[in-house]
Amino acid sequence: MRELYPEIEPYRTHRLAVDAIHELHVEECGNPDGLPVLFLHGGPGAGVSPYHRRFFDPARYRIVLFDQRGAGKSTPHAELRDNTTWDLVADIERIRALLGIERWVVFGGSWGSTLALAYAQAHPRPVRALVLRGIFLGRPPELRWFNELDGGARWIFPERWQRYLDYIPEEERGQMVEAYWRRLDSDDPQVRREAAMAWSDCEGGSTTLLHDPFEPGIHGDTDSAVSVARAEAHYFRHDVFLEPDQLLRDIGRIREIPATIVHGRYDIICPVKSAVDLAAAWPEAELRIVLAGHSAADPAIVDALVTATDTLAERFGSPRS
């Protein structure tokens, strides 16, 4: 089983003003002369973490990471004005122009897979290859699966889901995302924090194949929880700003792009059917279903992703520093 590459630090960081409101944190790691790769984080709203740099051989890749609007070190924190899928797609092109990159590999997991597909379909020419993990296509059943009463996740993680449910009064539970949104968008910062922690405890604690349902979720930090919960509720209640089945409908725009799809068989956040549906529409892509949950840190997921990035470095003849 392949493991993550050793920890590294950025060799350069940037602040990129993308409009009158938002300024993005962008970082470059690895080999400045290597194969360019763009990492797209999940959430939305989660931001990048140091371990995200480690899916790529730093001797062979020029690794570009950025915090999406309102996430991580980008400012303003948790800001949702002018924050849509298509704003983020435009930001990716701005970053590519800033860095003078002609073509790059695009790597995205969970919400990052959604954004990677949307970007590639809008701008196929700069995309040399795609590595996608934990597929989320933004379709109504996927949006309801984890957050609404008629979804299925409550039958699999009942302890966490009960806490998520208990936060909302019974009379509002018919539309859980809307009920949470009213609190996440409250003028009272304490209400926003409490709602965010309740939301993030449910999702952030359900990512790994093996876990304790009573331990805090991965977004235990309040600032992270607020940006994730607000952004997710905002995007979900707008159907992630996509037309119905848009990402499957427009797959013809990217059929010629080499792609690897990695998905955990026991992914409860983004059920494996989404990956199977994507692969059925895109038979040229390689689909790898592995014994794992949703988390990119699950060992089988790490193995598949690092194998994919190593294979691309060999394929495209990336030099070693």
Catalytic site includes residue 267: yes
- DSSP letter at 289 equals E
- Paired sense of beta strands 259-264 and 127-133, if any: parallel
* Angstrom distance (rounded) from CA 217 to CA 235: 21
Catalytic residue selected from 57, 67, 91, 267: 267
The dihedral through the CA atoms of 55, 40, 212, 191 has a sign that is: positive
* Angstrom distance (rounded) from CA 168 to CA 205: 19
CB 34, CB 61: distance < 8 Å: yes
Residue 242 phi, psi dihedral angles, 5° rounding: -115, 150
The total of other beta-carbon atoms located within 10 Å of residue 12's CB is 11
Choose among 197, 221, 214: nearest CA to 47: 221
* Angstrom distance (rounded) from CA 232 to CA 25: 20
Catalytic residue selected from 110, 200, 274, 295: 110
Edge-to-edge strand ranges of the sheet holding 12-17: 12-17, 23-30, 61-66, 35-40, 104-109, 127-133, 259-264, 286-290
Catalytic site includes residue 74: no
Structure tokens at 111: 């919400």
Directed axis angle between helix 158-166 and helix 189-204, to 10°?
160
Structure tokens at 55: 């899916």
Catalytic site includes residue 110: yes
Residue 14 phi, psi dihedral angles, 5° rounding: -135, 155
Dmax over CA atoms of the chain, in Å, equals 61
Structure tokens at 240: 């992630």
Catalytic residue selected from 22, 52, 234, 294: 294
Active-site positions read 110, 267, 294
